Structure 1
Protein backbone atom coordinates (compact mmCIF):
# COMPACT_ATOMS: atom_id res chain seq x y z
CA UNK A 1 0.00 0.00 0.00
CA UNK A 2 1.32 3.45 -0.91
CA UNK A 3 2.30 5.76 1.94
CA UNK A 4 0.41 8.98 2.61
CA UNK A 5 3.33 10.87 1.11
CA UNK A 6 3.24 8.87 -2.14
CA UNK A 7 -0.54 9.17 -2.38
CA UNK A 8 -0.52 12.92 -1.86
CA UNK A 9 2.34 13.41 -4.32
CA UNK A 10 0.39 11.45 -6.94
CA UNK A 11 -2.69 13.61 -6.33
CA UNK A 12 -0.64 16.78 -6.72
CA UNK A 13 0.95 15.53 -9.93
CA UNK A 14 -2.44 14.69 -11.45
CA UNK A 15 -4.19 17.92 -10.48
CA UNK A 16 -5.37 20.08 -13.44
CA UNK A 17 -3.13 23.09 -14.11
CA UNK A 18 -4.79 24.80 -17.09
CA UNK A 19 -6.40 28.19 -16.52
CA UNK A 20 -6.60 30.08 -13.24
CA UNK A 21 -9.32 28.00 -11.62
CA UNK A 22 -8.08 27.13 -8.12
CA UNK A 23 -11.17 25.21 -7.01
CA UNK A 24 -9.11 21.99 -6.79
CA UNK A 25 -7.36 23.47 -3.75
CA UNK A 26 -10.57 23.81 -1.69
CA UNK A 27 -9.96 22.21 1.69
CA UNK A 28 -6.26 21.77 0.94
CA UNK A 29 -4.88 25.31 0.71
CA UNK A 30 -6.05 28.85 1.41
CA UNK A 31 -5.03 32.28 0.16
CA UNK A 32 -6.20 35.50 1.75
CA UNK A 33 -7.37 38.08 -0.79
CA UNK A 34 -6.12 41.68 -0.82
CA UNK A 35 -8.44 44.21 0.77
CA UNK A 36 -9.04 46.16 -2.44
CA UNK A 37 -11.10 43.36 -4.06
CA UNK A 38 -9.74 43.14 -7.59
CA UNK A 39 -12.69 41.25 -9.11
CA UNK A 40 -15.09 43.86 -7.76
CA UNK A 41 -12.95 46.67 -9.15
CA UNK A 42 -12.85 45.31 -12.68
CA UNK A 43 -16.59 44.59 -12.59
CA UNK A 44 -17.36 48.19 -11.64
CA UNK A 45 -15.00 49.69 -14.19
CA UNK A 46 -15.94 47.41 -17.10
CA UNK A 47 -19.60 48.38 -16.60
CA UNK A 48 -18.71 52.06 -17.04
CA UNK A 49 -16.70 51.97 -20.30
CA UNK A 50 -17.40 51.33 -23.97
CA UNK A 51 -14.34 49.15 -24.65
CA UNK A 52 -12.18 46.91 -22.48
CA UNK A 53 -9.17 44.61 -22.83
CA UNK A 54 -8.00 41.95 -20.38
CA UNK A 55 -4.34 41.02 -20.89
CA UNK A 56 -3.05 37.50 -20.06
CA UNK A 57 -6.54 36.43 -19.08
CA UNK A 58 -5.63 32.82 -18.32
CA UNK A 59 -8.85 30.85 -18.64
CA UNK A 60 -10.85 34.07 -18.31
CA UNK A 61 -12.03 33.03 -14.85
CA UNK A 62 -11.79 36.49 -13.27
CA UNK A 63 -13.03 38.46 -16.28
CA UNK A 64 -16.02 36.10 -16.53
CA UNK A 65 -17.26 37.37 -13.16
CA UNK A 66 -18.06 40.88 -14.40
CA UNK A 67 -21.78 41.59 -14.39
CA UNK A 68 -22.04 44.02 -17.31
CA UNK A 69 -19.51 43.79 -20.15
CA UNK A 70 -18.75 46.84 -22.30
CA UNK A 71 -19.99 46.86 -25.90
CA UNK A 72 -16.51 45.88 -27.07
CA UNK A 73 -14.56 43.40 -24.96
CA UNK A 74 -11.33 41.60 -25.87
CA UNK A 75 -8.83 39.43 -24.03
CA UNK A 76 -5.37 38.06 -24.80
CA UNK A 77 -3.79 34.78 -23.73
CA UNK A 78 -0.53 33.13 -24.75
CA UNK A 79 -1.01 29.46 -23.83
CA UNK A 80 -3.37 27.64 -26.26
CA UNK A 81 -4.98 25.37 -23.60
CA UNK A 82 -5.84 28.46 -21.55
CA UNK A 83 -7.05 30.25 -24.66
CA UNK A 84 -9.54 27.48 -25.37
CA UNK A 85 -10.87 27.65 -21.81
CA UNK A 86 -11.08 31.45 -21.97
CA UNK A 87 -12.98 31.34 -25.27
CA UNK A 88 -15.56 29.08 -23.65
CA UNK A 89 -15.77 31.02 -20.37
CA UNK A 90 -15.99 34.43 -22.00
CA UNK A 91 -18.37 33.63 -24.86
CA UNK A 92 -21.42 34.72 -22.83
CA UNK A 93 -19.85 38.18 -22.52
CA UNK A 94 -19.30 38.51 -26.26
CA UNK A 95 -15.55 38.67 -25.61
CA UNK A 96 -13.06 38.06 -28.42
CA UNK A 97 -10.04 36.05 -27.17
CA UNK A 98 -6.82 36.60 -29.11
CA UNK A 99 -3.76 34.38 -28.81
CA UNK A 100 -0.55 36.39 -28.50
CA UNK A 101 2.74 35.81 -26.71
CA UNK A 102 3.14 37.55 -23.36
CA UNK A 103 6.25 39.32 -24.64
CA UNK A 104 4.81 40.17 -28.07
CA UNK A 105 3.26 43.50 -29.14
CA UNK A 106 -0.48 43.74 -28.57
CA UNK A 107 -2.36 43.12 -31.87
CA UNK A 108 -4.53 46.21 -31.58
CA UNK A 109 -4.46 49.69 -33.07
CA UNK A 110 -3.32 52.66 -31.01
CA UNK A 111 -5.91 54.17 -28.66
CA UNK A 112 -8.25 51.16 -28.95
CA UNK A 113 -9.50 50.74 -25.38
CA UNK A 114 -10.96 52.81 -22.56
CA UNK A 115 -9.92 50.25 -19.93
CA UNK A 116 -7.11 47.68 -19.84
CA UNK A 117 -6.96 45.13 -17.03
CA UNK A 118 -4.56 42.35 -16.10
CA UNK A 119 -4.40 40.04 -13.10
CA UNK A 120 -1.02 38.56 -12.21
CA UNK A 121 0.71 39.23 -15.54
CA UNK A 122 4.02 37.41 -16.03
CA UNK A 123 5.33 40.16 -18.34
CA UNK A 124 4.14 43.77 -18.45
CA UNK A 125 4.74 45.64 -21.69
CA UNK A 126 4.13 49.11 -20.30
CA UNK A 127 4.65 50.99 -23.55
CA UNK A 128 2.28 48.65 -25.40
CA UNK A 129 -0.37 49.23 -22.74
CA UNK A 130 0.08 52.97 -23.14
CA UNK A 131 -0.08 52.67 -26.92
CA UNK A 132 -3.44 50.86 -27.11
CA UNK A 133 -5.03 52.81 -24.24
CA UNK A 134 -7.14 55.79 -25.25
CA UNK A 135 -6.26 59.22 -23.85
CA UNK A 136 -8.09 59.50 -20.55
CA UNK A 137 -8.28 55.70 -20.29
CA UNK A 138 -7.34 53.55 -17.30
CA UNK A 139 -4.98 50.65 -16.67
CA UNK A 140 -6.05 48.46 -13.73
CA UNK A 141 -3.91 45.55 -12.64
CA UNK A 142 -3.19 43.29 -9.68
CA UNK A 143 0.42 42.22 -9.96
CA UNK A 144 2.62 39.74 -8.14
CA UNK A 145 4.87 41.62 -5.74
CA UNK A 146 8.52 40.93 -5.08
CA UNK A 147 9.15 37.93 -2.82
CA UNK A 148 5.73 36.32 -3.20
CA UNK A 149 5.71 32.87 -1.54
CA UNK A 150 9.26 33.38 -0.35
CA UNK A 151 8.80 30.94 2.56
CA UNK A 152 7.82 28.17 0.14
CA UNK A 153 10.49 28.64 -2.48
CA UNK A 154 13.24 29.16 0.08
CA UNK A 155 12.19 25.95 1.85
CA UNK A 156 12.89 24.11 -1.37
CA UNK A 157 15.71 26.13 -2.90
CA UNK A 158 17.47 27.57 0.15
CA UNK A 159 17.96 31.23 1.17
CA UNK A 160 18.00 33.75 -1.65
CA UNK A 161 18.91 37.47 -1.67
CA UNK A 162 16.12 39.67 -0.37
CA UNK A 163 15.04 42.52 -2.65
CA UNK A 164 15.32 46.10 -1.45
CA UNK A 165 11.64 46.97 -2.02
CA UNK A 166 8.18 45.47 -2.62
CA UNK A 167 8.05 46.44 -6.28
CA UNK A 168 5.96 49.60 -5.83
CA UNK A 169 8.76 51.95 -6.81
CA UNK A 170 9.62 49.83 -9.84
CA UNK A 171 6.00 50.04 -10.98
CA UNK A 172 5.87 53.80 -10.47
CA UNK A 173 9.01 54.25 -12.56
CA UNK A 174 7.69 51.98 -15.32
CA UNK A 175 4.45 53.96 -15.46
CA UNK A 176 6.32 57.22 -15.73
CA UNK A 177 8.55 55.85 -18.49
CA UNK A 178 5.47 54.77 -20.45
CA UNK A 179 3.74 58.14 -20.07
CA UNK A 180 1.09 56.87 -17.66
CA UNK A 181 0.02 58.69 -14.51
CA UNK A 182 -0.24 56.61 -11.31
CA UNK A 183 -3.55 56.99 -9.48
CA UNK A 184 -3.24 54.22 -6.89
CA UNK A 185 -0.17 52.01 -6.50
CA UNK A 186 0.07 50.03 -3.27
CA UNK A 187 1.32 46.77 -1.83
CA UNK A 188 -0.31 44.21 0.43
CA UNK A 189 1.02 40.98 1.92
CA UNK A 190 -1.56 38.22 2.45
CA UNK A 191 -1.39 34.84 4.15
CA UNK A 192 -1.17 31.56 2.21
CA UNK A 193 -1.40 28.10 3.80
CA UNK A 194 -0.88 24.58 2.44
CA UNK A 195 -2.60 21.78 4.33
CA UNK A 196 -0.86 18.88 2.60
CA UNK A 197 2.08 18.17 0.31
CA UNK A 198 -0.24 17.36 -2.60
CA UNK A 199 -1.44 20.96 -2.57
CA UNK A 200 2.17 22.16 -2.59
CA UNK A 201 3.00 20.03 -5.63
CA UNK A 202 -0.13 21.10 -7.51
CA UNK A 203 0.56 24.78 -6.75
CA UNK A 204 4.17 24.59 -7.95
CA UNK A 205 3.05 22.88 -11.16
CA UNK A 206 0.41 25.55 -11.75
CA UNK A 207 2.29 28.69 -10.69
CA UNK A 208 5.50 27.71 -12.45
CA UNK A 209 7.51 30.85 -11.71
CA UNK A 210 7.52 30.12 -7.96
CA UNK A 211 10.23 27.45 -8.35
CA UNK A 212 11.19 27.64 -12.05
CA UNK A 213 12.98 24.28 -12.18
CA UNK A 214 10.42 22.42 -10.09
CA UNK A 215 9.79 18.73 -10.50
CA UNK A 216 8.90 16.12 -7.90
CA UNK A 217 11.98 14.14 -8.84
CA UNK A 218 14.33 17.11 -8.41
CA UNK A 219 12.88 18.19 -5.04
CA UNK A 220 11.68 14.86 -3.69
CA UNK A 221 13.81 14.92 -0.52
CA UNK A 222 12.73 18.41 0.49
CA UNK A 223 9.11 17.59 -0.34
CA UNK A 224 9.34 14.56 1.94
CA UNK A 225 10.74 16.72 4.73
CA UNK A 226 8.00 19.30 4.21
CA UNK A 227 5.38 16.56 4.30
CA UNK A 228 6.73 15.37 7.65
CA UNK A 229 6.72 18.95 8.98
CA UNK A 230 3.09 19.47 7.97
CA UNK A 231 2.16 16.18 9.60
CA UNK A 232 3.83 17.28 12.85
CA UNK A 233 3.05 21.00 12.98
CA UNK A 234 0.02 21.60 10.77
CA UNK A 235 -0.37 23.72 7.61
CA UNK A 236 2.71 25.33 6.07
CA UNK A 237 2.35 29.12 5.98
CA UNK A 238 3.71 31.48 3.35
CA UNK A 239 2.58 34.83 1.96
CA UNK A 240 1.41 36.35 -1.30
CA UNK A 241 2.78 39.76 -2.18
CA UNK A 242 0.38 41.77 -4.31
CA UNK A 243 0.58 45.22 -5.91
CA UNK A 244 -2.50 47.12 -7.02
CA UNK A 245 -1.87 49.35 -10.03
CA UNK A 246 -4.36 51.97 -11.16
CA UNK A 247 -3.02 54.41 -13.74
CA UNK A 248 -4.39 56.77 -16.36
CA UNK A 249 -3.22 57.88 -19.76
CA UNK A 250 -3.33 61.67 -19.82
CA UNK A 251 -6.12 63.14 -21.91
CA UNK A 252 -5.06 65.00 -25.03
CA UNK A 253 -5.09 68.72 -24.64
CA UNK A 254 -6.77 70.81 -27.28
CA UNK A 255 -4.53 73.35 -28.97
CA UNK A 256 -5.66 76.91 -28.23
CA UNK A 257 -7.68 78.47 -31.03
CA UNK A 258 -6.46 81.63 -32.72
Structure 2
Protein backbone atom coordinates (compact mmCIF):
# COMPACT_ATOMS: atom_id res chain seq x y z
CA UNK A 1 0.00 0.00 0.00
CA UNK A 2 2.88 2.31 -0.77
CA UNK A 3 0.63 4.43 -2.96
CA UNK A 4 1.43 8.11 -2.41
CA UNK A 5 -1.91 9.34 -3.75
CA UNK A 6 -3.84 6.94 -1.51
CA UNK A 7 -1.94 8.09 1.58
CA UNK A 8 -2.41 11.77 0.67
CA UNK A 9 -6.17 11.35 0.24
CA UNK A 10 -6.57 9.60 3.58
CA UNK A 11 -4.48 12.24 5.36
CA UNK A 12 -6.68 15.01 3.90
CA UNK A 13 -9.87 13.61 5.46
CA UNK A 14 -8.56 14.07 8.96
CA UNK A 15 -10.16 17.50 8.60
CA UNK A 16 -12.74 18.13 11.33
CA UNK A 17 -16.38 17.77 10.32
CA UNK A 18 -18.93 20.02 12.01
CA UNK A 19 -22.49 21.14 11.49
CA UNK A 20 -23.90 19.54 8.36
CA UNK A 21 -21.62 20.99 5.75
CA UNK A 22 -20.29 18.66 3.03
CA UNK A 23 -18.80 21.50 0.97
CA UNK A 24 -15.26 20.15 1.46
CA UNK A 25 -16.15 17.33 -0.93
CA UNK A 26 -19.27 18.56 -2.74
CA UNK A 27 -18.26 22.10 -3.69
CA UNK A 28 -15.04 20.72 -5.15
CA UNK A 29 -17.01 18.22 -7.24
CA UNK A 30 -15.47 15.20 -5.52
CA UNK A 31 -18.96 13.83 -4.80
CA UNK A 32 -21.87 14.43 -7.14
CA UNK A 33 -25.49 13.34 -6.84
CA UNK A 34 -28.02 12.46 -9.49
CA UNK A 35 -31.04 14.75 -9.21
CA UNK A 36 -34.30 13.69 -7.61
CA UNK A 37 -37.58 14.35 -9.39
CA UNK A 38 -38.51 16.68 -6.53
CA UNK A 39 -36.86 19.51 -4.60
CA UNK A 40 -37.36 19.41 -0.84
CA UNK A 41 -36.49 23.10 -0.67
CA UNK A 42 -39.00 24.10 -3.37
CA UNK A 43 -41.73 22.09 -1.67
CA UNK A 44 -40.86 23.44 1.79
CA UNK A 45 -40.54 27.17 1.05
CA UNK A 46 -44.20 27.91 0.21
CA UNK A 47 -45.53 26.06 3.26
CA UNK A 48 -43.04 27.87 5.51
CA UNK A 49 -44.33 31.19 4.15
CA UNK A 50 -47.88 30.29 5.21
CA UNK A 51 -46.99 28.85 8.63
CA UNK A 52 -47.83 30.59 11.89
CA UNK A 53 -45.93 28.05 14.03
CA UNK A 54 -42.95 26.08 12.73
CA UNK A 55 -40.53 23.38 13.86
CA UNK A 56 -37.46 22.11 12.01
CA UNK A 57 -36.56 18.68 13.38
CA UNK A 58 -32.84 17.83 13.36
CA UNK A 59 -31.57 21.13 12.02
CA UNK A 60 -27.88 20.11 12.04
CA UNK A 61 -25.93 23.33 12.08
CA UNK A 62 -28.97 25.26 10.78
CA UNK A 63 -27.38 25.67 7.35
CA UNK A 64 -30.43 24.61 5.32
CA UNK A 65 -33.10 25.93 7.67
CA UNK A 66 -31.59 29.42 7.69
CA UNK A 67 -32.22 29.68 3.95
CA UNK A 68 -35.98 29.22 4.35
CA UNK A 69 -36.59 32.58 6.07
CA UNK A 70 -38.58 34.72 6.63
CA UNK A 71 -39.99 32.73 9.53
CA UNK A 72 -43.16 33.12 11.59
CA UNK A 73 -42.86 34.51 15.12
CA UNK A 74 -43.30 31.07 16.68
CA UNK A 75 -40.34 29.12 15.26
CA UNK A 76 -38.18 26.39 16.78
CA UNK A 77 -35.48 23.93 15.75
CA UNK A 78 -34.26 20.78 17.47
CA UNK A 79 -30.88 19.06 17.27
CA UNK A 80 -29.77 15.84 18.92
CA UNK A 81 -26.05 15.88 18.07
CA UNK A 82 -24.45 17.96 20.83
CA UNK A 83 -21.51 19.41 18.82
CA UNK A 84 -24.02 20.87 16.34
CA UNK A 85 -26.06 22.76 18.94
CA UNK A 86 -23.78 25.81 19.41
CA UNK A 87 -23.33 25.98 15.62
CA UNK A 88 -27.10 25.95 15.08
CA UNK A 89 -27.65 28.55 17.82
CA UNK A 90 -25.10 30.89 16.27
CA UNK A 91 -26.70 30.51 12.84
CA UNK A 92 -30.38 30.53 13.78
CA UNK A 93 -30.94 32.51 16.97
CA UNK A 94 -30.21 35.87 15.28
CA UNK A 95 -33.04 34.93 12.89
CA UNK A 96 -35.50 34.49 15.76
CA UNK A 97 -35.31 30.69 15.95
CA UNK A 98 -35.24 29.00 19.36
CA UNK A 99 -32.85 26.02 19.15
CA UNK A 100 -33.46 23.20 21.63
CA UNK A 101 -31.48 20.01 22.26
CA UNK A 102 -33.24 16.68 22.65
CA UNK A 103 -32.23 13.12 23.41
CA UNK A 104 -35.23 10.95 22.60
CA UNK A 105 -37.51 11.09 19.55
CA UNK A 106 -40.51 10.26 21.73
CA UNK A 107 -39.82 13.00 24.29
CA UNK A 108 -39.67 16.34 22.49
CA UNK A 109 -39.61 19.56 24.56
CA UNK A 110 -42.94 20.93 23.29
CA UNK A 111 -46.56 21.12 24.35
CA UNK A 112 -49.32 19.18 22.61
CA UNK A 113 -50.87 20.76 19.51
CA UNK A 114 -48.10 23.38 19.29
CA UNK A 115 -47.16 23.40 15.60
CA UNK A 116 -49.02 24.03 12.37
CA UNK A 117 -45.98 22.95 10.35
CA UNK A 118 -43.22 20.48 11.17
CA UNK A 119 -40.43 19.95 8.65
CA UNK A 120 -37.84 17.21 8.82
CA UNK A 121 -34.96 16.56 6.43
CA UNK A 122 -33.12 13.31 7.04
CA UNK A 123 -33.93 13.19 10.77
CA UNK A 124 -35.40 10.27 12.69
CA UNK A 125 -38.80 10.82 14.29
CA UNK A 126 -41.48 9.15 16.39
CA UNK A 127 -44.83 9.38 14.56
CA UNK A 128 -46.83 9.39 17.81
CA UNK A 129 -44.77 12.31 19.14
CA UNK A 130 -45.01 14.23 15.86
CA UNK A 131 -48.78 13.82 16.01
CA UNK A 132 -48.87 14.93 19.67
CA UNK A 133 -47.14 18.25 18.96
CA UNK A 134 -49.03 18.87 15.69
CA UNK A 135 -52.14 20.99 15.57
CA UNK A 136 -55.20 19.48 13.93
CA UNK A 137 -54.76 19.91 10.15
CA UNK A 138 -51.09 20.67 10.78
CA UNK A 139 -48.62 19.60 8.10
CA UNK A 140 -45.72 17.20 8.55
CA UNK A 141 -43.24 17.37 5.66
CA UNK A 142 -40.27 15.04 5.63
CA UNK A 143 -37.57 13.80 3.28
CA UNK A 144 -36.00 10.62 4.62
CA UNK A 145 -32.95 8.48 3.89
CA UNK A 146 -34.07 4.90 3.34
CA UNK A 147 -32.44 1.78 4.74
CA UNK A 148 -30.87 0.73 1.43
CA UNK A 149 -28.96 3.99 1.09
CA UNK A 150 -25.53 3.51 -0.53
CA UNK A 151 -25.48 -0.22 0.25
CA UNK A 152 -22.90 -0.57 -2.55
CA UNK A 153 -20.34 1.08 -0.26
CA UNK A 154 -20.91 -1.59 2.37
CA UNK A 155 -20.74 -4.30 -0.29
CA UNK A 156 -17.47 -2.96 -1.70
CA UNK A 157 -15.87 -2.82 1.76
CA UNK A 158 -17.23 -6.20 2.84
CA UNK A 159 -19.29 -4.68 5.64
CA UNK A 160 -22.89 -5.61 6.52
CA UNK A 161 -25.73 -3.17 5.99
CA UNK A 162 -26.86 -1.49 9.21
CA UNK A 163 -29.75 -3.73 10.31
CA UNK A 164 -31.27 -1.00 12.48
CA UNK A 165 -32.42 0.92 9.38
CA UNK A 166 -32.62 -1.87 6.78
CA UNK A 167 -36.43 -1.92 6.57
CA UNK A 168 -36.88 1.86 6.72
CA UNK A 169 -38.72 2.75 3.50
CA UNK A 170 -41.72 4.62 2.13
CA UNK A 171 -44.26 1.85 2.75
CA UNK A 172 -43.28 1.46 6.39
CA UNK A 173 -43.29 5.22 7.02
CA UNK A 174 -46.71 5.62 5.39
CA UNK A 175 -48.18 2.80 7.48
CA UNK A 176 -46.84 4.31 10.72
CA UNK A 177 -48.12 7.82 9.96
CA UNK A 178 -51.57 6.58 8.96
CA UNK A 179 -51.73 4.54 12.18
CA UNK A 180 -51.03 7.74 14.12
CA UNK A 181 -53.78 9.81 12.55
CA UNK A 182 -52.11 11.45 9.57
CA UNK A 183 -53.63 11.72 6.12
CA UNK A 184 -50.90 11.34 3.48
CA UNK A 185 -51.04 14.04 0.79
CA UNK A 186 -47.81 13.41 -1.15
CA UNK A 187 -45.54 10.35 -1.32
CA UNK A 188 -42.49 9.67 -3.48
CA UNK A 189 -39.50 7.30 -3.37
CA UNK A 190 -36.39 7.19 -5.58
CA UNK A 191 -32.88 5.72 -5.81
CA UNK A 192 -30.59 8.34 -7.42
CA UNK A 193 -26.90 7.67 -8.05
CA UNK A 194 -24.22 9.14 -5.80
CA UNK A 195 -20.81 9.27 -7.48
CA UNK A 196 -17.47 9.40 -5.62
CA UNK A 197 -14.44 10.55 -7.61
CA UNK A 198 -11.74 9.68 -5.06
CA UNK A 199 -11.35 7.50 -1.99
CA UNK A 200 -10.74 10.51 0.26
CA UNK A 201 -14.19 11.88 -0.56
CA UNK A 202 -15.75 8.51 0.23
CA UNK A 203 -13.93 8.23 3.57
CA UNK A 204 -14.93 11.80 4.48
CA UNK A 205 -18.53 10.85 3.73
CA UNK A 206 -18.34 7.73 5.91
CA UNK A 207 -16.89 9.69 8.81
CA UNK A 208 -19.72 12.22 8.52
CA UNK A 209 -22.50 9.61 8.54
CA UNK A 210 -21.42 7.03 11.14
CA UNK A 211 -24.61 4.99 10.77
CA UNK A 212 -23.58 3.81 7.28
CA UNK A 213 -20.82 1.63 8.75
CA UNK A 214 -21.10 1.71 12.56
CA UNK A 215 -17.73 2.00 14.32
CA UNK A 216 -16.04 2.80 11.02
CA UNK A 217 -12.29 2.61 11.51
CA UNK A 218 -9.85 3.66 8.83
CA UNK A 219 -7.09 1.30 9.91
CA UNK A 220 -9.34 -1.76 10.12
CA UNK A 221 -10.57 -1.26 6.55
CA UNK A 222 -7.38 0.07 4.99
CA UNK A 223 -6.92 -2.94 2.71
CA UNK A 224 -10.49 -2.81 1.41
CA UNK A 225 -10.25 0.97 0.97
CA UNK A 226 -7.05 0.56 -1.01
CA UNK A 227 -8.75 -1.95 -3.33
CA UNK A 228 -11.59 0.50 -3.85
CA UNK A 229 -9.06 3.30 -4.42
CA UNK A 230 -7.47 1.26 -7.22
CA UNK A 231 -10.90 0.66 -8.77
CA UNK A 232 -11.66 4.39 -8.70
CA UNK A 233 -8.26 5.14 -10.22
CA UNK A 234 -9.04 2.67 -13.02
CA UNK A 235 -12.69 3.59 -13.70
CA UNK A 236 -12.57 7.25 -12.70
CA UNK A 237 -15.36 6.98 -10.11
CA UNK A 238 -17.37 4.72 -7.81
CA UNK A 239 -21.18 4.75 -7.89
CA UNK A 240 -23.63 3.94 -5.12
CA UNK A 241 -27.42 4.24 -5.08
CA UNK A 242 -28.98 6.63 -2.61
CA UNK A 243 -32.39 5.84 -1.12
CA UNK A 244 -34.69 8.82 -0.62
CA UNK A 245 -38.39 9.21 0.05
CA UNK A 246 -40.66 12.20 0.56
CA UNK A 247 -43.91 12.45 2.53
CA UNK A 248 -46.27 15.33 3.08
CA UNK A 249 -49.04 14.48 5.54
CA UNK A 250 -51.83 16.29 7.40
CA UNK A 251 -52.75 15.65 11.04
CA UNK A 252 -56.41 14.58 11.38
Change (3 A) 1:229 1:139: same
The 5 Å alignment of 1:149-160 reads 149-158=150-159
- Picking from 65, 85, 98, the partner of 2:87 is 85
The 5 Å alignment of 1:141-220 reads 141-158=142-159, 167-220=169-222
Quote the offset at 1:176 in angstroms: 1.5
Aligned match of 1:61: 63
The answer to whether the 8 A contact 2:56-2:65 is kept is yes
* Gap regions ≥5 residues in structure 2: none
Aligned match of 2:22: 22
C-alpha distance in structure 2 between counterparts of 1:209 and 1:178, whole Å: 27
**Stretch deviating more after TM superposition (32-41 or 234-243):** 32-41
Aligned match of 2:14: 13
The answer to whether the 8 A contact 1:127-1:178 is kept is yes
C-alpha distance in structure 2 between counterparts of 1:87 and 1:160, whole Å: 34
C-alpha distance in structure 2 between counterparts of 1:196 and 1:173, whole Å: 39
Aligned match of 1:133: 134
Quote the offset at 1:181 in angstroms: 1.2
The answer to whether the 8 A contact 2:154-2:161 is kept is no
C-alpha distance in structure 2 between counterparts of 1:105 and 1:44, whole Å: 29
* TM-score for the superposition, normalised by structure 2: 0.92
C-alpha distance in structure 2 between counterparts of 1:90 and 1:43, whole Å: 17
C-alpha distance in structure 2 between counterparts of 1:59 and 1:46, whole Å: 19
* TM-score for the superposition, normalised by structure 1: 0.90
C-alpha distance in structure 2 between counterparts of 1:80 and 1:209, whole Å: 16
The answer to whether the 8 A contact 1:180-1:248 is kept is yes
C-alpha distance in structure 2 between counterparts of 1:39 and 1:70, whole Å: 17
Change (3 A) 1:166 1:96: closer
The answer to whether the 8 A contact 2:210-2:216 is kept is yes
C-alpha distance in structure 2 between counterparts of 1:32 and 1:61, whole Å: 21
Quote the offset at 1:10 in angstroms: 0.9
Root mean square deviation of aligned Cα: 2.1
- Give the match's secondary structure for 2:243: strand
Structure of larger gyration radius: 1
Change (3 A) 1:239 1:102: farther
Quote the offset at 1:34 in angstroms: 2.1
Change (3 A) 1:201 1:65: same
C-alpha distance in structure 2 between counterparts of 1:158 and 1:201, whole Å: 14
* Gap regions ≥5 residues in structure 1: 251-258
Quote the offset at 1:97 in angstroms: 0.2
Change (3 A) 1:94 1:164: closer
Quote the offset at 1:33 in angstroms: 3.8
